[in-house]
Amino acid sequence: MLDAKLVRENLGAVQARLRDRGLAQDFGEFLAADEGRRRVLTEVEQLKHRRNTVSEEVGRRKKAGEDASPLIAEMRAAGDQIRALDDEVRRHEERIQQCLLTVPNLPHASVPVGADSGGNAEVRRWGQPRQFEFPPKPHWEIGEALGILDFERASRMAQARFTVLRGLGARLERALINFMLDLHTKEHGYTEIFPPLLVNAAAMTGTGQLPKFAEDLFKTQDESLYLIPTAEVPVTNLHREEILPPGTLPLSYVAFTPCFRREAGSYGKDTRGLIRQHQFNKVELVKFVEPARSYEALEQMTRDAETVLQRLGLPYRVVALCTGDMGFSAAKTYDLEVWLPSQTGGGGYREISSISNCEAFQARRASIRYRPAPKAPAEYAHTLNGSGVAVGRAFLAILENYQDPDSSVRIPEALRPYLDGLERIGKS
């Protein structure tokens, strides 16, 4: 959530930066509520000052044996007025919050300006795409030929966009999860978390999924809990409504969870295979840092995610998202895009990880603060999150990049210790 003071005092600049995101934001209701709040607060302060003055006079009169009943009645009336005005202040504050909850984060000055993905800027590439001596198959054909992916049975027990992993397919998925968790905990210094997969509306609001993206969430009927769309939600809310002591930051967490998304508005896109599923696994990275270190942390988190793809030998590129393509809560985002030979036109890059600095946007919504020093006032932390990486997309990238003409798939060396030394998945 944006800082109300920032919006009030820099309205033109805030609107200009939101226009870079393709949003013509009307702050009329916010300004009316903000003005109402400040007007009522002035009245409250005047009444409180008058009440204190009268209270002193009541004490003087009682001490002098004089009649203080008219002043006592005035004090009681002032108290009633103050309570009524306090309620009015709360109503104005609720209106302010509701207005700001639907406004996205402001893009960092380094973010390229653009309307959509066409404005994204490539930062670097790693690895050379494999030159096949045979027509490469898409991962769903390979998986079905090997008997490790079963889309038909999954759709019968659930619906489209679910998958059953069988045999070595299930083991490969588990190997990828364990490999990523070991890498991030043992080499990159993250603390592993296994959070709840169901969270309340306050948690969803804290990270920015609610209220704007309710249609993309799976919600329980009775308990008003939501299946998480990403581990970013529960892990970021781990320190919700806390003031972290001096010396606590930075905090780095990693979590493997299943993720659940309706994929509203995406029907007709990526209908085959594993790219756009309603349920998928992901290893998520989350950091809490001091504001002065958050862009350094963004670069480090990006390198941590890149290491996963490098160890797996998967060619990829890093892309800086433009203003019109960034997520709601992000101030700056890097996407990692892995090479998939099955993409039309002889192969192409597809997203496998997004790494974002949300600055204080989520921390303000979730009230996550820290003290820079023992007696210093509390400040909002900066939060960062990113996939480290999407497991299903790493799975399909391995099938496509390591395939052989008979549809067998070589196992990347980094995963072989997690598969009892297995070097290849072939037809059984």
Which amino acid is it at 348?
G
261, 364, 365, 369: the active-site residue: 261
Q: Which residues contact 170 (CB under 8 A, 6 or more apart)?
A: 148
346: alpha, beta or left? (left if phi > 0; alpha if psi -120 to 50): left
Identify whether 161 is a catalytic site residue.
no
Identify whether 261 is a catalytic site residue.
yes
Neighbours of 205 (CB within 10 A): 20
351, 364, 369, 387: the active-site residue: 351
C-beta of residue 356 within 8 angstroms of C-beta of residue 230: no
Identify whether 141 is a catalytic site residue.
no
Cα separation of 66 and 185, whole Å? 75
276, 317, 350, 371: the active-site residue: 276
Three-state DSSP class for residue 377: coil
Bridge partners of residue 319, in order along the sequence: 122, 335
Identify whether 393 is a catalytic site residue.
yes
Identify whether 354 is a catalytic site residue.
yes
294, 329, 354, 387: the active-site residue: 354
Cα separation of 216 and 197, whole Å? 16
- Buried b / exposed e over 169-202, threshold 16 CB at 10 Å, is bebbbebbbebbbebbeeebebeebebebbbebe
Bridge partners of residue 283, in order along the sequence: 256
Cα separation of 251 and 260, whole Å? 26
Q: Which residues contact 91 (CB under 8 A, 6 or more apart)?
A: none
Cα separation of 315 and 140, whole Å? 20
21, 329, 393, 400: the active-site residue: 393
Annotated catalytic residues are: 261, 276, 351, 354, 393
